[in-house]
């Protein structure tokens, strides 16, 4: 049976996926809920979405066992949409991170997801950045990763005035900061022996604002992290080998400090794909559609990390 691609959502993220699919000459159907966003989607892509939402679509359409579904809805609708497409018979699902509005919602639905776990992937697209691929090569050249430091500071002054669905900003660490945490431990391996500390601050919309922790991963990599949402900072991952310190700061680029020097120098690499499309998206989508899932995050592993790592960082 021919592969069918279904894109759910018509917002900015859906437009980014559509750009890649169109460039690859893929045929796909689009489902939107509201007229306004659907009209904007059509004006940009030339593709007319089905309007009225997934439930209405399923009243007259079936998902067969070769349907590949990409879920790009708002955070608050991710899990309900995932459960609905699984029930309707979707074969494989790529769902935008973090697949639920909260750690609690994700874990509460673990049993419902269990039998489908091998075919559900969470779209942490930074794993597919050209900079990340290049950093992996550099680490291998140097004989492996020894230590790592990362930061997931959020700009609370920018986030606070945003209008979001109830629960989204309250779970901002899970919804947004885990982009960085996932990538850090993608490099270093899952934390094995470690301590985490956090405390609240003056923010009314998020219970914790300051975070720090350290330990050792399953790969023997020593790590530390620090994040203060009420001060200055940015997202960053620093990777230390025997020969150099590799900075992903910003994470789309690479800077290097060689051993025995103080200068931090920009490292040039081929990032043409990430300049043409949203960084990481083309390679991530190819992995999903072509069955090359080594880099993709399986929902089973996402559940494990949410229980054992994200919960510990935030608690």
Average confidence (pLDDT) over 229-250: 97
Average confidence (pLDDT) over 287-302: 92
139 and 196 co-located in one domain:
yes
Q: Is the pLDDT of residue 2 over 80?
A: no
Decide: 132 and 295 in contact? Cβ < 8 Å.
Answer: no
288 in any annotated domain:
no
The pLDDT score that the predictor gives to residue 3 is 86
238 in any annotated domain:
yes
Q: Is the pLDDT of residue 62 over 90?
A: no
101 in any annotated domain:
no
80 and 146 co-located in one domain:
no
Report pLDDT digits (tens) over 24-51.
999 999 999 989 999 999 999 999 999 9
Tokens 């993608």, residue located: 186
63 in any annotated domain:
yes
pLDDT bin (cut points 50, 70, 90) of residue 134 is: very high
53 in any annotated domain:
yes
Last residue of a domain, one of 74, 96, 118: 96
Average pLDDT value over all residues in the chain: 96
Beta-strand pair 210-217/191-199? antiparallel
16 in any annotated domain:
yes
User: When comparing pLDDT for 118 and 70, which is higher?
Assistant: 70
Decide: 229 and 153 in contact? Cβ < 8 Å.
Answer: yes
Expressed as residue numbers, the domain containing 90 is 4-96
131 and 265 co-located in one domain:
yes
Percentage of the chain surpassing pLDDT 70?
A: 100
pLDDT bin (cut points 50, 70, 90) of residue 291 is: confident
Report pLDDT digits (tens) over 158-202.
999 999 999 999 999 999 999 999 999 999 999 999 999 999 999
Q: Can you give the C-alpha Rg of the chain in angstroms?
A: 20
The pLDDT score that the predictor gives to residue 87 is 93
84 and 152 co-located in one domain:
no
Please state the domain count of the chain. Answer: 2
Q: What are the CA-CA distances from residue 38 to residues 12, 46, 62 (Å)?
A: 11, 11, 21
Q: Is the pLDDT of residue 1 over 70?
A: no
153 and 82 co-located in one domain:
no
Report pLDDT digits (tens) over 72-90.
999 999 999 999 999 999 9
């Amino acid at each position: 049976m021919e592969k069918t691609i279904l894109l759910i959502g018509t917002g900015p993220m859906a437009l980014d996926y559509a750009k890649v699919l169109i460039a690859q000459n893929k045929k796909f159907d689009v489902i939107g809920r509201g007229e306004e966003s659907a009209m904007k989607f059509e004006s940009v892509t030339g593709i007319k979405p089905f309007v009225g939402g997934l439930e209405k679509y399923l009243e007259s359409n079936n998902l067969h066992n070769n349907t590949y579904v990409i879920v790009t809805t708002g955070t608050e609708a991710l899990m309900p949409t995932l459960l609905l497409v699984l029930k309707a018979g979707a074969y494989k699902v790529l769902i935008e991170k973090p697949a639920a509005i909260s750690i609690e919602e994700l874990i509460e639905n673990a049993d419902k997801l269990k039998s489908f776990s091998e075919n559900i992937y969470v779209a942490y697209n930074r794993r597919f950045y050209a900079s990340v691929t290049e950093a992996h090569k550099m680490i291998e050249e140097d004989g492996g990763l020894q230590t790592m430091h990362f930061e997931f500071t959020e700009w609370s002054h920018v986030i606070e005035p945003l209008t979001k669905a109830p629960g989204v900003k309250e779970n901002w660490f899970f919804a947004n900061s885990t982009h960085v945490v996932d990538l850090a431990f993608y490099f270093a391996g899952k934390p094995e022996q470690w301590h985490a500390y956090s405390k609240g601050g003056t923010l009314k919309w998020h219970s914790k604002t300051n975070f720090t922790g350290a330990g050792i991963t399953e790969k023997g990599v020593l790590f530390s992290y620090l994040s203060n949402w009420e001060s200055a900072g940015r997202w960053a991952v620093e990777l230390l080998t025997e020969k150099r310190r590799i900075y992903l700061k910003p994470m789309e680029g690479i800077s290097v400090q060689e051993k025995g020097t103080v200068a931090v120098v920009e490292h040039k690499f081929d990032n043409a794909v990430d300049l043409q499309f949203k960084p990481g998206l083309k390679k991530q989508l190819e992995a999903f559609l072509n069955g090359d899932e080594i880099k993709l995050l399986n929902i089973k592993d996402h559940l494990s990390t949410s229980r054992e790592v994200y919960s510990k960082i935030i608690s």
